[in-house]
Each structure stands twice: as C-alpha cells, then as structure tokens.
Amino acid sequence: MENKKGLIAHLNEDFPKLSKGQRALVRFITDNTDEAAFLTAAKLGKKVGVSESTVVRFASAVGYEGFPEFQEALSDVVRHKLNRIDRMGEVYGNRSDSEIINSVLQSDIDRISDTMSRVDTRAFEMAVDTIIGSENIYVLGIRSCAPLAGFLSFYLNTMFGKVHLVSTNSLTEVFEQIIRINEKDVLIGIDFPRYSMRTIKALEFANSRNAHLIAITDSNRSPLTLYSSCNLLAKSDSISIVDSLAAPLSLINALVVQLCMKKTDEVVEHMKLLEDTWEEYQVYNSDEINFIDENKIREYPVTRYTGSSL
C-alpha cells in the first residue's frame, strides 16, 4: 500500500474501477475527511446510504486488509493536516522576518524550477490550440484554486470574449453553469490536493458531453487526468497552512502569453477597443489612480529635510 499521506489521491485514482456504492463512499470521504475518520463502518455506510458490508468490501478494494486499517490510514490523513501548523512552527518558528521571507520565496522558486523541468510541451501546445479552436471556454477552480481560475478567465476574456468562469459553492450549481457544454467547447479544470469532488465531477460530466478537457493540476496521478487528455502540471505542495500557487500561476501566465502570441491581431484589436471605451467613459479618471508624469516631476526642485526646526 502506498504512503498513507497519499490516501485521498489513491482513492480518486481507483475511482473508475469501483462499484457505484464504493464511488459514493469515495465522494463522501473526500469531501468530509475529518468526519469520516471517526465513523464506524456501520455509521459511515448509513451516512452514504450503503450497507456496512459494502464499506468493509470497499476497504479491501482499495488495498487494505480491513476497515480498521483503512480507518487508521484515514486518521493519519487528518493528523497530517492538523500537524501542518506544528511543522510550520518547526521550520519558521526561530527565524527572523527576513529569513522567513527568503525561505518562502526560495521555496516558490524551487517549485517553479521543478515545474519547468516537467513541462510537457506537446500538452502545452495542445492546450493552446484547443482553447483557440473552441466555441466556448469554461474555467473552473474551487476553494484555493478559485483565484487561479479568476486570473485565467480574466485574461482569456480580454482575448476571446467567450469565456465562462464557473463560480459555485455546490455541485448542483456547477452543473447548472456547464449544462450546455458540448463537443465544440473546452472546460479548463484547475485543481490541486486536496482535490475537489465538484471539479472532478464537472470534468466527468463535460467528458460525457464530448467537450474538450484541459487539466491544470499537480501530477499525472491527479483524478482530473482520468477525464483529461491534455494535462498541464505544476508543483503546489507546501509545509505551511497556505498552499503555494506560485508555480501554477507561472504556468498559467505562460499559457496566456502563448495565446497572445498566437492571436496577436485579435488581441491588439480587442485591447484598442477597450482603451477607446475606457477613455470615452472615463473609466480610469473616476475611480482609478492616475500616475503623475515623471517628466513634469523633474521640473520641480527637490527640498530635502535637514532636521532644522520650523
């Protein structure tokens, strides 16, 4: 059996080969790990709507000798999550402010470097061509991935104007926003551990509608790759309570830049239209900071404070 800290990823990886009842157990455990770790087989089955024997068979199906061993592994996952604060204290507790800054930034640099070494250029080019050739572009990121989804959709919208940012708090709302997706469209799913079942199910639904799928995630073992044939991988793990998004954001930046290079004429035309509109309606005169002309600043003498009293 693999490292117990990777239990959730392991369950999602095994998801396609499990029975309907066992899949329901995976969904519940993934979304309610803290609660599931303290439930008996009977109580877990009642929560999900399956029999106790189904829960026991499930534990065996995912590689454990029995439910007690599986429950212990699940408890380890919860303890590991809680211990992140302790581990953060061990790493940063005795360091100065400047040392913490340098350590965190260096850690992000290392993640970006690791991401660079794993870039699949063919998948990257496929993602660019797929986005350009799609009629509608859907972007989905839940929880900590929501800022990444918002960032990507903002810039895609300035280039294409056919972008739908799927923002939601429930699986039902996800389906409501992508219900019209079809083979002419693309869904870009952004997800990192702990993986969101809403994102996974959205890709599963889009796949059933023959839509193109692009996954921005952490590894080829991510459950998103079960449905996506175009996977862009970025390092995102962290020893603190905050997940590092530096590498995923850099990868998204690269995607945006490449799309701009492929659609230069359209981007220039669209941005010119935006600039004209902003100027006509004084968008940046009314509620944004206008930077002072540096050349005019140079015309004024500089008076330095000498410490004398007024």
The DSSP result for 269-282, as a single string, is HHHHHHHHHHHHTT
Which CATH number is 106-266's, of 1.10.730.10, 3.40.50.10490, 3.40.50.1820, 3.30.70.580?
Answer: 3.40.50.10490
4-92: which CATH topology? Arc Repressor Mutant, subunit A (1.10.10)
Give φ, ψ of 217 to 5 degrees: -150, -170
What are the b/e assignments for 33-51, b being 16+ CB within 10 Å? beebbebebeebbebbebe
Residue-level pLDDT, tens digit, the chain, 310 residues: 444 346 877 787 788 888 999 999 988 888 788 788 888 899 999 999 999 999 999 999 988 888 988 988 887 777 666 555 555 554 555 556 666 677 778 878 888 998 898 889 999 999 999 999 999 999 999 888 999 999 999 999 888 878 999 987 777 888 999 999 999 999 999 998 878 888 999 999 999 999 999 999 988 888 899 899 899 999 876 545 566 789 999 999 999 999 988 877 777 777 788 788 877 777 665 555 555 555 554 555 555 545 544 4
Q: Would you tell me how many other CB atoms lie within 10 Å of the CB of residue 79? A: 12
Tell me the C-alpha distance between 10 and 163, whole Å.
Answer: 33
pTM for the model stands at 0.63
Strands (E), the chain: 137-141, 163-166, 186-190, 212-217, 230-233
The domain locations on the chain are 4-92, 106-266
